Amino acid sequence: MDKGVFTLSLDCEGLWGVADHLGGSTQCINQSSLSEVYTYIEDVLSHHSIKATYAFTTLFTQDEADILKYKDIIKSYINEQDEWYKYIYSALQNESLNGWLGRELYLQAKQNGHEIAWHGFTHHPLGQTTKESIVEFEIAESLKIFEKESISVNSLVFPRNDVGHLKLLNNSGFNVYRKGLIEQSRLHSNKYYRVLDELNILKPSQKFKQSKNNPMISLPAGYFLKWPSGAKKFIPSEVTYKRWDHILRSASHKSAQAHMWFHPHNMITAPKMRDTFESIIKNVSTKIQNGELINLTMDECKRYYK
Ligand SMILES: [Zn+2]
CATH number for the domain spanning 120: value is 3.20.20.370
pLDDT in tens, 11-66: 999 999 999 999 888 999 999 999 999 999 999 999 999 999 999 999 999 999 99
Query: How far does the centroid of ligand 1 lie from the alpha carbon of residue 238, in Å?
Result: 27
Query: How far does the centroid of ligand 1 lie from the alpha carbon of residue 61, in Å?
Result: 14
pLDDT in tens, 186-225: 787 888 888 888 888 999 999 999 888 999 999 999 999 9
Query: How far does the centroid of ligand 1 lie from the alpha carbon of residue 290, in Å?
Result: 34
Segment 107-123 shows an average pLDDT of 98
Task: With CA atoms as reference, report the closest residue to 16 among 116, 104, 115, 125.
Answer: 125
Query: How far does the centroid of ligand 1 lie from the alpha carbon of residue 291, in Å?
Result: 33
Query: How far does the centroid of ligand 1 lie from the alpha carbon of residue 123, in Å?
Result: 6
The residues, any chain, with a CB within 8 Å of residue 293's CB and separated by 6 or more, are 3, 4, 5, 6, 248, 251, 252, 258, 284, 287
Query: How far does the centroid of ligand 1 lie from the alpha carbon of residue 117, in Å?
Result: 12
How many structural domains comprise the chain? 1
Domain hosting 216: range is 4-305
- In this structure, the dihedral spanned by the alpha carbons of residues 91, 94, 98 and 101, taken in order and rounded to 10 degrees, is 60
The answer to whether residues 54 and 115 touch, using CB atoms and an 8 Å cutoff, is yes
CA-CA-CA-CA torsion sign (139, 141, 145, 150): positive
Strand pairing partners for 260? 8, 223
If 0-12 CB within 10 Å is exposed, 13-18 middle and 19+ buried, where does residue 246 land?
A: middle
Q: What angle do CA 41, 42, 46 make, to 5 degrees?
A: 120
Query: How far does the centroid of ligand 1 lie from the alpha carbon of residue 16, in Å?
Result: 8
Segment 232-255 shows an average pLDDT of 93
Q: Report how far apart, in Å, the C-alpha atoms of 105 and of each of 66, 91, 101, 124, 229 are.
A: 16, 20, 9, 21, 26
Query: How far does the centroid of ligand 1 lie from the alpha carbon of residue 148, in Å?
Result: 23
Query: How far does the centroid of ligand 1 lie from the alpha carbon of residue 1, in Å?
Result: 35
